[in-house]
Amino acid sequence: MFILHDNTESGNAYKARLLLSQLGLPFKTIQYDVTKGETRTAEYLSNINENGRIPVVQFEDGRCLAESNAILYYFAVGTDLFPEDKWHQAEVMKWLFFEQYSHEPFVAVAKYILTMLPEDSPRRAEIPSLHEKGYIALQIMENRLAAHDYLVEDRYSIADIALFAYTHKAAMGGFDLSTFPAILAWFRRIEQTPGFVAMYPEDWRKS
Amino acid sequence: MFILHDNTESGNAYKARLLLSQLGLPFKTIQYDVTKGETRTAEYLSNINENGRIPVVQFEDGRCLAESNAILYYFAVGTDLFPEDKWHQAEVMKWLFFEQYSHEPFVAVAKYILTMLPEDSPRRAEIPSLHEKGYIALQIMENRLAAHDYLVEDRYSIADIALFAYTHKAAMGGFDLSTFPAILAWFRRIEQTPGFVAMYPEDWRKS
């Protein structure tokens, strides 16, 4: 059975939980508190991920795969969650790299600062800039989803999983999604896909 | 013929130039000065990339593909520059996402600040933090390359192209590579791959 090196608060880790659940692949999780440096111990850096991050999938033979979107690729290739033709595959890739470069560093970091750091953290000064850049990413998603049910080819794919993870918790980072109706409707569609599991089990359908 | 929406100073754009050259695919380039906002015009945002970035590959039918590493994937799939088996494909993906999240935001941004902004730019204050994080990424590469000729499977792939682009110009961002001998030896190997073209043609083999 796979081990998912995991953190409940991480949207990046949730991507892996959601995909593995939807593919019906059983896995165990080991939880880490990143605010306590638990992914930066010498043992973790040596044995799990020298980049000191979660999520990591560890296989029974000990091999480890880091980077949330590489994990999505590995498990989705050959399933309905990754397109067959090269052009649509490239469009999935476009959204995965967009997510890691133009979305997560703003939408996820705002959530981290507002929910994981003390209220008097000096990092709160970053919030206006994070919101400015995060709203640009959200508007790009809204433009796409206003005309299409999903991000690529009107079919649910790992592009949707990657972007759903932090977008559906953007309010925790102080983002107001009320002017993004297409994104909100897309949340509802994703929540109805087979095998869907909530990021926080207790708030199913309350996002 | 493809059009590459390009910028000579961009390592991200160079990735596409290098791959297309090595695959023997002819292309035209259109140059943009990002410091003058030329990728943020209404026309560019409407027709080329609503995220306002280069590189973008435009096909003859008008379709556009953004995100440098998605471009690498699209053209490399099915060639010797992308592995056939799923595990090594996932390892390539791990390095591509590592590059965009843990390397480029530090190594490339330091180069941008030191070479493209005025000497009195307040952004120079970011350099110590960019160096701290960039050296972590460089050490991870060094650890891999000390024991292997290339990043994945001891074969040249788009993982090497993606990481070579900004790493081999890291000195322009103030990084000292003299303590990374495996990275320097890897530079020499890449420069000898068939069809290699330099980022700046005038400095071939002087990197």
Q: How confident is the model at residue A1 (pLDDT cuts 50, 70, 90)?
A: confident
Interface test with B, best of A92, A100, A132, A158 (most B CBs within 10 A): A100
Closest CA to B18 of B36, B4, B38, B34: B4
**Is there a common fold for A2-76 and A86-195?**
no
B64 interfaces chain A, CB cutoff of 8 Å: no
The CATH number that domain B86-203 falls under is: 1.20.1050.10
A64 interfaces chain B, CB cutoff of 8 Å: no
Cβ-based contacts of A69 with chain B (< 8 Å): 93, 97
The CATH number that domain A2-76 falls under is: 3.40.30.10
Query: Could you tell me the fold of the domain covering A86-195?
Result: Glutathione S-transferase Yfyf (Class Pi); Chain A, domain 2 (1.20.1050)
CA distance A195 to A18: 8
CB contact under 8 A, B93 and A73: yes
* B76 in Cβ contact with A73 (< 8 Å): no
Phi and psi, residue B77, nearest 5°: -55, 130
**Which ranges in B8-147 belong to alpha helices (H)?**
11-22, 42-47, 68-76, 86-98, 104-116, 127-145
Interface pTM (ipTM) of the complex?
Answer: 0.96
Give whole-number Cα distances, A83 to A122, A145, B45, B96, in Å.
44, 18, 26, 20
User: Which sequence spans correspond to the domains of chain B?
Assistant: 2-76, 86-203
Tokens 């590579």 correspond to what residue?
B177
Give whole-number Cα distances, B13 to A89, B24, B72, in Å.
20, 17, 10
A67 interfaces chain B, CB cutoff of 8 Å: yes
DSSP B152: B
- Residue B66: CB atoms within 10 A of its CB come to 23
DSSP B134: H
Query: Tens place of pLDDT for every residue, chain B, 207 residues?
Result: 899 999 999 999 999 999 999 999 999 999 999 889 999 999 999 999 999 999 999 999 999 999 999 999 999 999 999 999 999 999 999 999 999 999 999 999 999 999 999 999 999 999 999 999 999 999 999 999 999 999 999 999 999 999 999 999 999 999 999 999 999 999 999 999 999 999 997 654 444
Q: Which amino acid is at B143?
A: N
Dump pLDDT digits (tens) for A12-43.
Answer: 999 999 999 999 999 999 999 988 999 999 99
CB contact under 8 A, B94 and A140: no
CB contact under 8 A, B93 and A66: no
Tokens 């509802």 correspond to what residue?
A188
CB contact under 8 A, B65 and A94: yes
- Flag whether pLDDT at A109 surpasses 70: yes
Closest CA to B172 of B10, B5, B28, B16: B10
Dump pLDDT digits (tens) for A148-180.
Answer: 999 999 999 999 999 999 999 999 999 999 999
